[in-house]
């Protein structure tokens, strides 16, 4: 599927989302029957992970505590599905929320309080409730990772995009910066075989592109997680957890490194770029074209270009930010939360979510 056709499809989905339309009718009836059979085989091939994701809520960056006690921790909210929750690892400091909280604390030189309300099995429909859960924490920054379950559970894409856009709008209206990790490329999962693999890839990338349009137009920014589960993961089986579907600790670290620069940029913590960008590393494109380009290249950030007057959000900046290593999360075990902090204990053991 070319970038141009993906851009057109994403714009149609986003337009349908904005005006309450339905999803795209992509597949014939006979082909759908074949896909249902392939889907059942894939479900049998994917293992099941026992237990719930480990809790990681708490305060990170104890080394940056204000001796006078006047500076409150920066609050990082985490919303979305099992990937946002960290399913697939056994210790709290291995979850993406903990990795990013520790990384953000290191860059900001300020303590960061993590409030993770993501849930395994979460879909875009669950974001409204998750927003209500996270807002009492007064987050200054929120990360949303969602979309995979919308594809596997066959949520109409326009509906999923509308629900995501509404969540981003609610967070932005509360004064919170928002970074969304878009739908991963489900066609890269090993148990998924052709022709289901081809369809899963197409649906995943179209949804990711449409998500980008909706998020940028609501004032957030996106980072493509698409092929982070692709060639790099395919060549390194240790990137996957035991079910061959969710990331392992190494896999989550890879995704977190792709997200961290965009989190820093959202809070104006990214260093000034004095050197010119490498060719193709930064572009200004129509938002639908930018969304399609990002869907096919992992780690790509898309945000509104506010330099183009009142029509800034119809154009977007596309950036490939330099990834940098994360601090050793094992050395950043969160402080126990206070009784009135509404967060968990930061215990590394898996507990009921």
> What residue segments make up the domains of the chain, in order of their start?
3-23+52-331
Residue 46: helix, strand or coil by DSSP?
coil
What tokens were used for 164? 């995501």
Q: What is the pLDDT of residues 110-163, one digit of tens each?
A: 999 999 999 998 999 999 999 999 999 999 999 999 998 898 888 889 999 999
Structure confidence at residue 311 (pLDDT): 47
Tell me the mean pLDDT in the region 250-276.
Answer: 81
What tokens were used for 214? 């909706």
Structure confidence at residue 34 (pLDDT): 47
Structure confidence at residue 48 (pLDDT): 53
**Active-site residue (options: 57, 82, 126, 248):** 82
Given a contact cutoff of 8 angstroms between Cβ atoms, the answer to whether 146 and 183 are in contact is yes
**Active-site residue (options: 52, 243, 341, 347):** 243
**Active-site residue (options: 93, 106, 124, 246):** 246
Q: The whole model's pTM is what?
A: 0.82
The yes-or-no answer on residue 342 being catalytic is no
The yes-or-no answer on residue 93 being catalytic is no
Of the segments 133-142, 153-162, 182-191, 197-206, which one has the largest average pLDDT value?
133-142
How far is Cα 79 from Cα 146, in angstroms, rounded to an integer?
A: 8
Question: Which one is predicted more confidently, 341 or 160?
Answer: 160
Question: Which one is predicted more confidently, 77 or 310?
Answer: 77
Instruction: Give the lowest-confidence range in 22-36, 95-109, 290-304.
Output: 22-36
Structure confidence at residue 31 (pLDDT): 42
Residue 58: helix, strand or coil by DSSP?
strand
The yes-or-no answer on residue 246 being catalytic is yes
CA atoms within 13 A on the CB side of 308: 14
Question: Which one is predicted more confidently, 176 or 194?
Answer: 176
Banded pLDDT at 99 (limits 50, 70, 90): very high
Structure confidence at residue 153 (pLDDT): 84
The CATH number of 3-23+52-331, from 3.40.1710.10, 3.40.630.30, 3.40.50.1110, 3.40.50.720, is 3.40.50.1110
């Amino acid at each position: 599927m070319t970038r141009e056709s993906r851009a057109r499809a994403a714009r149609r989905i986003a337009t349908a989302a904005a005006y309450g339309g339905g999803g795209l009718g992509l597949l014939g009836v006979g082909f759908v029957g074949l896909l249902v059979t392939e889907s059942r085989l894939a479900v049998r091939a994917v293992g099941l992970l026992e237990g719930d994701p480990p809790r990681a809520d708490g305060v990170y960056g104890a080394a940056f505590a204000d001796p006078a006690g006047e500076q409150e921790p920066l609050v990082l909210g985490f919303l979305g599905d099992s990937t946002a929750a960290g399913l697939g690892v056994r210790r709290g400091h291995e979850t993406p929320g903990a990795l990013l909280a520790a990384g953000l604390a290191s860059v900001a030189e300020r303590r960061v309080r993590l409030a993770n309300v993501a849930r395994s099995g979460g879909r875009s429909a669950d974001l409204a409730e998750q927003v209500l859960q996270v807002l009492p924490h007064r987050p200054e920054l929120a990360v949303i990772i969602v979309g995979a379950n919308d594809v596997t559970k066959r949520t109409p894409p326009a509906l999923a995009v509308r629900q995501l856009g509404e969540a981003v709008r609610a967070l932005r209206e509360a004064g919170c910066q928002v970074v969304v990790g878009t739908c991963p490329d489900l066609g890269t999962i090993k148990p998924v075989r052709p022709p289901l693999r081809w369809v899963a890839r197409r649906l995943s990338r179209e949804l990711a592109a449409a998500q980008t349009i909706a998020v940028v137009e609501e004032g957030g920014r996106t980072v493509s997680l698409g092929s982070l589960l692709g060639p790099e993961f395919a060549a390194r089986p240790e990137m996957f957890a035991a079910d061959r579907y969710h990331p392992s600790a190494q896999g989550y670290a890879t995704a977190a490194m792709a997200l961290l620069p965009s989190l820093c940029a959202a809070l104006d913590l990214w260093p000034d770029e004095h050197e010119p960008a490498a060719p193709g590393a930064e572009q200004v494109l129509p938002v639908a074209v930018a969304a399609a380009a990002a869907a096919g290249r992992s780690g790509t950030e898309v945000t509104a270009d506010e330099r183009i007057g009142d029509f800034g959000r119809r154009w977007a900046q596309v950036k490939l930010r330099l990834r940098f290593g994360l601090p050793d999360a094992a050395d950043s075990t969160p402080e126990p939360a206070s009784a009135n902090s509404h967060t968990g204990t930061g215990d590394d053991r898996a507990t009921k979510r």
